[in-house]
Structure formats: structure tokens, C-alpha cells
């Protein structure tokens, strides 16, 4: 069975496009802000989102962090506040740590808001 170069190219494009869609629920700073605003601050989903956000904050450009903006920082502070006041929840301590890691990454940038 011989597959043409064009067919191979199309198959590879479909594979990578599908893989990218599965692995990147959050791409833009707005995706993170909107998701964190809508989810329960003490949930596992919030914890996973904060973990992904921390990676993005340390690996993306300063302009990406600027786009996250003060509004994004406020959302992270709100989540941290809820986690501190509800310290007995299942994910409370982990959410506190990840929130602080995100804030630390933001503070380590050259540009502050």
C-alpha cells in the first residue's frame, strides 16, 4: 500500500491538530481568567488550572503575562483567599501553594502592572 506525500502530509496535520486540541484546554490568558472565574475555587479543576497557569507564566513571554493583567492577578488572589479561609478542604493547601507559585511567577517578571 503506497501513500502519496500529500496524503502523508494531511494525515500528519490531522494528527498534530488533534493532539494540540486535546492537550491545550487553555491557550490565552483570557482562557485562564474565564475558567478560574467560573469554577469552584476549592475544586480539583481549579488546582489543575493553576498548575497549568504556573507553567504558562514561567514559559511564555512578558506580553503574555501582561495580557493576563491585573484582572488575572485579582482572580488568583480571590482563589487564594478562599483557599486560606477554607483551609480544611481537600485541595485547600495545594491550591494555596499553586496560587502563591503563580503570583511568584508574575512578580518575577520585569514588568509589573
pLDDT value of position 113: 55
Distance CA 82, CA 64 (A): 26
Give start and end residues of each alpha helix (H) in the chain: 5-23, 29-38, 44-59, 62-85, 92-107
Neighbouring C-beta atoms of residue 47, cutoff 10 Å: 22
The phi, psi pair for 40, rounded to 5°, reads: -65, 125
| pLDDT, block means (10 residues), the chain with 113 residues | 76 62 72 94 94 93 92 96 85 95 91 61
Amino acid at each position: 500500500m503506497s501513500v502519496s506525500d500529500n496524503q502523508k502530509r494531511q494525515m500528519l496535520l490531522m494528527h498534530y491538530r488533534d493532539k494540540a486540541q486535546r492537550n491545550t484546554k487553555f491557550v490565552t490568558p483570557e482562557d485562564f481568567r474565564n475558567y478560574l472565574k467560573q469554577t469552584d475555587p476549592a475544586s480539583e479543576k481549579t488546582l489543575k488550572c493553576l498548575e497549568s497557569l504556573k507553567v504558562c507564566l514561567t514559559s511564555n513571554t512578558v506580553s503574555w503575562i501582561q495580557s493576563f493583567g491585573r484582572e488575572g492577578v485579582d482572580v488568583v488572589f480571590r482563589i487564594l483567599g478562599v483557599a486560606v479561609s477554607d483551609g480544611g478542604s481537600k485541595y485547600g493547601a495545594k491550591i494555596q501553594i499553586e496560587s502563591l507559585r503563580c503570583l511568584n511567577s508574575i512578580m518575577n517578571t520585569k514588568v509589573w502592572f
